[in-house]
Amino acid sequence: MSINVNTVVDVTITTTPTFPSRFGFGVLNIVGKSDVISLAERARFYSDIDGVAEDFLSSTEEYKSASVYFSQSPRPNQLIISRRADVDYAAQMIGGLDAEQTLATWIAITDGEFTISIDGVEEDITAISFSGDTSLDDVASGIQVKLRAEAAGGYTLSTCVWNGERFIIKSGTTGATSTITVLSEVSGGSGTSIVAMLDGGTGDGTAVAGVDQETITESLDVIEAINNSWYGLAFTEEVNDVEANVVMASDWCEARIKLFANSSTDSAVRDSLSTTDIAYVLEAASYRRTFTLVSFQDEDYIGVSMFARIATVNFNATDSTITAKFKQLPTITVDDLSSNDATVISGKNCNYYSLFGEIEMTAEGECADGSFIDSVHGVDWLQNAVETNVFGTLLTSPKVPLTDKGVSRLSEQVRLALDEGVNNGLIAPGYTAAGVFLPLGYLVTAGKVADLNASDKAARKAPPIQFIAIGAGAIHSIEINGVFEG
């Protein structure tokens, strides 16, 4: 027996917590109602239009909106498409992706069987013959006939379909009382079990309870709980210009760090006397996190194209921030507005895409409250950058002492985020409202530990760190006067 070398050289390696990643401010979530995405899944991530085309037909609104999004130049590379419950939906058993697809295997079965419970009633579905089937659609149809033959409750109008990837069985009832289970073997059954062939048993199939019709707010709450990795929000065209739905979406975003890209095709937007069009309604409510682009060419996804351009901003790059004015919207048919049209639309803090001379461009780049879109976007990024820097330092350090030196460490992380803002063009040297010139574009100050009250010190609460930053803004117009003497 030898002596272990660790008595001479004893090595211990400790890993430190990973520094948290920053939130992404270039991801749009397009919310639709097609049943391609199940209500159990709710959301899918896409990196290009080819991926969208694998799931959605070109005639669907999800595909149309995604096509506009990925047509922008430079092209964004992150998109989420999600599903809302626009009506009452039935419970469904979603089979896995390993269902039997060899037709000959199905044709050989004349006594197929499985057990399922629909709306609380368990039934053995037996004696299913596939001998004359010519497709997997026929297989699904044969199963549906047997389900409906039970002629009770959710079985009466139940369905079974093959969607090209998997088998899906739905209850014939809808809403929250609609229920279903995955498949199981028939107890004491004498036929051929098709549970595995349908890939619908425990661990393979997924049972999704029925859902009552949701409001926009309810759908967004559910989607957010499942996937919150997105910043921008848009809807397929049926929501556009429906005031109640648009207002709910705006209210929802206003309470979060989200940006709603709203599209309108309402001709009343350019009517100075209109007080019912969506642009007027949103402007009157002073929504800071909603911007609207209007099209009089029935371009349902003009707002999606605008967000796609915003989504390409790389806050880590030099001079990378942009204004939402002067931009082109590929695939979008441009309007040829009059000066009066532009004045009326802008007066409602709404944006448009028009010819300026012979040049197509967006204007004015504002949210409904008059804030500029790029300022809202940039401030959201800055808030997250500061939070992540400071939290990451607290997380990955053995401890940050409650001393002036410890507070200085956290102040430095604030400065690092602000320096990034200077680098990307969000922040620039300038004067504060009080007339103080900030040569760096920002000023960071921190309280002293000695000034903490006893209760805050006992609670390990640091003195406050404060900063003021000067926005670089952007030039949207200029007046030039000259004198020519001949």
Indicate whether 103 pLDDT > 80. yes
CA 485 to chain centre: 59
Residue 74: is the preceding peptide bond cis (ω within 30°)?
yes
Helices 302-311 and 61-70 meet at what angle, rounded to 10?
Answer: 40
**What's the rounded Cα separation, in Å, for the pair 214 and 293?**
26
For a pLDDT cut of 70, what percent of the chain falls above it?
A: 99
> Which residues lie closer than 8 Å to 429 by C-beta, 6 or more apart?
437, 438, 439, 440, 441, 470
pLDDT digits (tens, 9 = 90+) for 415-434: 999 999 999 999 999 999 99
The pLDDT, as a whole number, for residue 3 is 78
Indicate whether 14 pLDDT > 70. no
The burial class, CB within 10 Å (0-12 / 13-18 / 19+), for 445 is exposed
> Which residues lie closer than 8 Å to 1 by C-beta, 6 or more apart?
none
Domain ranges of the chain: 28-85+215-371, 90-208, 374-469
Element (H, E) at 29: strand 28-32
Indicate whether 286 pLDDT > 80. yes
Q: How many CB atoms lie within 10 A of CB 19?
A: 13
53: three-class secondary structure by DSSP: helix
Q: How confident is the model at residue 1 (pLDDT cuts 50, 70, 90)?
A: low
CA 339 to chain centre: 36
CB 84 within 8 A of CB 42: no
The burial class, CB within 10 Å (0-12 / 13-18 / 19+), for 433 is exposed
Indicate whether 5 pLDDT > 80. no
Supply the pTM of this predicted model: 0.89
Where in 84-177 does DSSP place strands (E)?
90-94, 112-118, 121-128, 159-162, 167-174
CB 330 within 8 A of CB 318: no
CA 409 to chain centre: 35
pLDDT digits (tens, 9 = 90+) for 336-356: 999 999 999 999 999 999 999
pLDDT digits (tens, 9 = 90+) for 113-123: 999 999 999 99
The pLDDT, as a whole number, for residue 181 is 97
Q: What is the mean pLDDT of the chain?
A: 95
